[in-house]
A and B are shown apart, each in its own frame.
Chain A
Amino acid sequence: MAPRQLARVNDFVVKFANVNGSGSASANGLFAKAVLRMGVPVAARNIFPSNIQGLPTWYEVRITEAGWRGRRGGVDLMVAMNPQTWDKDVAELEAGGYLFYDSTKPLPAAKLRADVNALGVPLTAICNAAYSDPRQRQLFKNIIYLGALSALLDLDPMEIERLFAEQYKGKEALLESNRKALHMGRDYALANFACPLPMKVERRDNVGERVFIDGNAAAALGAVYGGATVAAWYPITPSSSLAEAFQKYCARFRTDKATGRKRYAILQAEDELSSIGMVIGAAWNGARAFTATSGPGVSLMQEFLGLAYFAEIPVVLFDVQRGSPSTGMPTRTQQADLLSCAYASHGDTKHVLLLPEDPRECFDMAAQAFDLADRLQTPIFVMLDLDIGMQDWLVEPFAWDDARRMDRGKVTTADELDAGKEFGRYLDVDGDGIPYRTYPGTHPTKGSFFTRGTTKDRYARYTEEGPAYVDNMQRLLRKFETAKSLLPKPVIERAPVPTRAGVIWFGSTGAAMAESLAELERQGVHLDRMRVRAFPFQDEVGEFIAEHEHLFVVEQNRDAQLKMLLVNECGVDPDKLISVLNYDGTPITERFISREIAEKARLFNVTPIRKLAG
């Protein structure tokens, strides 16, 4: 008996199982973009190994007319191009799903599944007949399967051809050979299968003005708009593409047209110690400067981060978090650097964190980070993760107000010094804990000061006197308090039904969260919700927790780091906070969150007030 066939329009998951280095990324990206061009949103994720060639890699495309941004969990169509992972890939398919594979060599029946629809296309045979060059055979195989999929899923081939035309502008030969390969696959599918399948893409207008971009590129663009002129970095997955994107955007936007000279400086340092040192030097000297790194890099920067905190240097640090501890899982995602950043360095230190949820917020928060750093004269951490940083997301288009100006914070100028303004580097003139600074070289006789990590008085003079030390540390606390008023507030929304339960999350978890909340609503679990966007927490955060009996804290690390911060900083009863933790390195899914919360809600008897009353 033929297996059941999943019948879905614009709501299914396609997963490509490939071998790293086989050139599949480009074809898979075209697939996602073709769906977008048909007006249907996608959520795409590249799952890749720490390897350049040979190891397994996957690309998961969720086609979602509803516009859900997270992973759903499960696979409806597997494009199984990697024999190494065949068994696991086949096992992942939903019953009634589709298995697309290269049927050049016959497969024993035991390798297939009775409840899954097999779609064998002799890709190697088609390639070998058409091409003699081994590299061409490999690369065009990807385009051929793209062509076959376009017929099976009813993708408009014209959209793919248009994408080819954009990609190979001026390279007509490449354009033509890609078009030819596309149609080879398409023609085979049309001739051999009932196309389209019951599971297919239909044209909609649900994408609108949204853009498809990864968070690292978005953050880099935000750094350009934020006025960053100095970037120092050391290559580390998954953050390297942030520095590289900054280079790319600077080359486009910051090259002097007349002279070809650059209004920016980027240095690849010898290590992370050096990159943060350069950023500190540049920021001390009045340039907007940043580094991009990941957990191991943040560990290496600890001593310098303490100096930047204590010497009050406006540093911006992008931490694109990955699986830790130690080298951990360099190509997998986690939200596990929250504590190591919030309290980075020895002694009494606390830092400002920004917690973007998607590439759009990466752009906004990156630009804002430079204003915050200058205003607060302290390191600002922008906490991305691999899922946000290295995956393309469909997000609202970037926007910029041309009336906006950089806020360079409290900088005393030569004119002010000449006019007799008193200058003490660590004087709290305005009562907000933020002192004034001068840039080096400002004035021949006034306003210079000596920057040091050792204790100093309000006029930056060296001292080891206890009261002066305490005075300074207390001012730093006042400054941290001031930070709360400048940081993005938490996003709080109420459930449609009054409830005593809530849920808290931050960052990339939001992608799956929205969908989980809808699913939980359907099951009768109503939760008020709060997305935390910054540290230190504003009063609203503590108040939200106080208002509820039980709160789920959903995050992507083992030790419940957000919960720890909330308990530590908001003085809440830890028993109120119920952790939902995903830390296997894959992005958290809707199904995981819904299942965990539904189960725990039963356990804690979390029910809406209405039901309690009724």
Chain B
Amino acid sequence: MTYLAKPKLHHPDLPVNALGHTRRDYEGAVSTLCAGCGHDSISAALIQALFEMDVPPHRVAKLSGIGCSSKTPTYFLGNSHGFNSVHGRMPSVLTGASLANRELIYLGVSGDGDSASIGLGQFAHVLRRGVDMVYIVENNGVYGLTKGQFSATADKGSKSKRGATNNDEPIDLVLLALALGATFVARGFSGDKTQLVPLIKAAVAHRGAAFIDVISPCVAFNNHAGSTKSYDYVREHNDAVNRLDFWPSRDEITTEIAPGATRDVLLHDGGTVRLHKLRDDYDPSDKVAAMSYLESRRARGEVVTGLLYVKPDSADMHDALETVDAPLNALSDADLVPGSVALAALNASLR
């Protein structure tokens, strides 16, 4: 980490997006995480994705739980409201926030301890409710802030830095998310920004519960030989089933297309995801096949990455609740308070 404050001055030639913002406008405070932490790469990917998508920074609400990953919302989108809530309970706070104002973009940032251990219950329920959000787990298999204990995503047989072996079966959040009804499920690797940035963009454009599990090595406590969440291990065992390009709705697709089979997926807001198939047999619209594929690769110790499942025409929680279009937090007395005449009629019915 660095103690140097970022200078306010911008280079005059910094590129600007359609809103006139530079990338700096999407940054936050200086990170206090360890140098080389995977989480900082994820923050950088978020900054890049939102900058390139021309998202007004203040229209994003960042919510997190407790842990290293949950600290990161301080380090990006400095002009957004953020909420560092309690351990494992970010999903409920995010759900409530979404109920209050359906117009903002909700970004939930969590870790493997926060989501798979203490927060597994809320992780499950926020996905099955179809809350319109991007839920990112920065997954390193250990508790960083309390110095290296295993979390529930640590693989069985993997070794801690102190030499202890993990005896428990890991929880695979991607498989769980599929089973629980998430309508966008992806896995990325903090060491592969090229793959991660378009995954984030597609997740933002998706309507409904979008979940991204990002393997994010902990350089302090889980980057050694014997770990299955180290940079070396993930690079060696990364089975990327596809790569993405993302186009917002208004752009014509002009980018040069890489060779190989492609498939376009039209997202809810009109954006398009172009999938470059790296595995011919992988179909991200087939949930059952996806689960089977994931399970088989996991048994081999491989880490499957890419867009694993997407249901483009999904509905969200507000659709299910049939709430009005206007944000609930903006409704007036006239919208909400039935008044004295209605009350008199009600009184009459209670005698």
Contacts and interface: CB of A to CB of B under 8 A. Distances in A.
Interface stretch (B186-194, B235-243, B244-252, B340-348): B340-348
B99 A230 contact: yes
B93 A281 contact: yes
Contacts of A232: 92, 95-96, 99
Nearest 8 CB-CB pairings of A with B: A281-B96, A277-B92, A287-B100, A440-B81, A286-B329, A278-B96, A285-B100, A282-B96
B336 A227 contact: yes
A207 B125 contact: no
Q: Which of B78, B103, B343 has the most CB of A within 10 A?
A: B343
Contacts of B294: none
A406 B342 CA distance: 18
A211 B350 contact: yes
B342 to A, nearest CB: 6
Nearest to A408: B329
B4 interface: no
Interface of B: 56-59, 61, 63, 73-74, 78-86, 89, 91-101, 103-104, 121-122, 124-125, 129, 318, 321-325, 328-331, 333, 335-340, 342-344, 346-347, 350-351
B84 A441 contact: no
A209 B347 contact: yes
A264 B326 CA distance: 11
Interface string A165-183: 0000000000000000000
B96 A283 contact: yes
Contacts of B83: 281, 284, 450-452
Nearest to B85: A307
Given A261-B324, A279-B96, A451-B81, A398 B57 contact: no
Given A280-B96, A441-B61, A273 B329 contact: no
Contacts of A37: 351
A213 interface: yes
Contact of B100 (A221, A230, A448, A452): A230
B121 A265 contact: no
Contact of B340 (A265, A286, A402, A405): A402
A498 interface: no
A259 B99 contact: no
Contacts of B86: 277, 303-304, 307, 453
B100 A229 contact: yes
B58 A289 contact: no
Nearest to B93: A281
Contact of A281 (B97, B318, B337): B97
A400 B341 CA distance: 9
Nearest to A446: B79
A334 to B, nearest CB: 27
Given A270-B125, A450-B74, 20 more contacts: A37-B351, A225-B343, A229-B328, A254-B336, A267-B95, A269-B92, A277-B91, A277-B92, A281-B92, A281-B98, A281-B100, A282-B329, A285-B329, A286-B100, A303-B89, A304-B86, A439-B101, A441-B61, A443-B58, A450-B73
Contacts of A277: 85-86, 89, 91-93, 95-96, 122
Interface in A411-453: 438-445, 448-453
A98 interface: no
Interface string A458-472: 000010000000000
A264 B336 CA distance: 9
Contacts of A443: 58
A401 interface: yes
Contacts, number: 227
11 contacts: A229-B329, A230-B328, A263-B323, A269-B92, A273-B92, A274-B89, A274-B121, A281-B63, A289-B100, A440-B61, A440-B101
Given A279-B96, A284-B97, A225 B325 contact: no
A441 B102 CA distance: 11
Contacts of A454: 84
Interface residues of A, number: 74
A274 B122 contact: yes
Q: Which of B103, B318, B328 has the most CB of A within 10 A?
A: B328
B342 A253 contact: yes
A261 B327 CA distance: 12
A224 B347 contact: no
Contact of A400 (B95, B318, B321, B340): B340
A399 interface: yes
A267 B324 CA distance: 16
B86 to A, nearest CB: 5
Given A267-B95, A450-B74, A439 B329 contact: yes
Contact of A451 (B84, B95, B343): B84
B323 A270 contact: no
Nearest to B87: A303
Contacts of A478: none
B91 to A, nearest CB: 8
Nearest to A454: B84
Q: Which of A36, A440, A453 has the most CB of B within 10 A?
A: A440
A414 B93 CA distance: 24
A453 B340 contact: no
B340 A441 contact: no
Interface string A223-240: 011010110100000000
B74 A462 contact: yes
A202 interface: no
A576 interface: no
B323 A265 contact: yes
Interface in A186-240: 207, 209-213, 221, 224-225, 227, 229-230, 232
A42 to B, nearest CB: 12
Contact of A441 (B59, B91, B122): B59
A212 B349 CA distance: 9
Interface string A78-91: 00000000000000
A344 B124 CA distance: 27
A274 B91 CA distance: 8
B58 A212 contact: no
Contacts of A283: 96, 100
Contacts of B330: 286
Contacts of A401: 340
A210 B351 contact: yes
Contacts of A280: 85, 92-93, 96
B314 to A, nearest CB: 19
A211 B339 CA distance: 18
Contact of A212 (B56, B92, B99, B350): B350
Contacts of B329: 229, 282, 285-287, 439
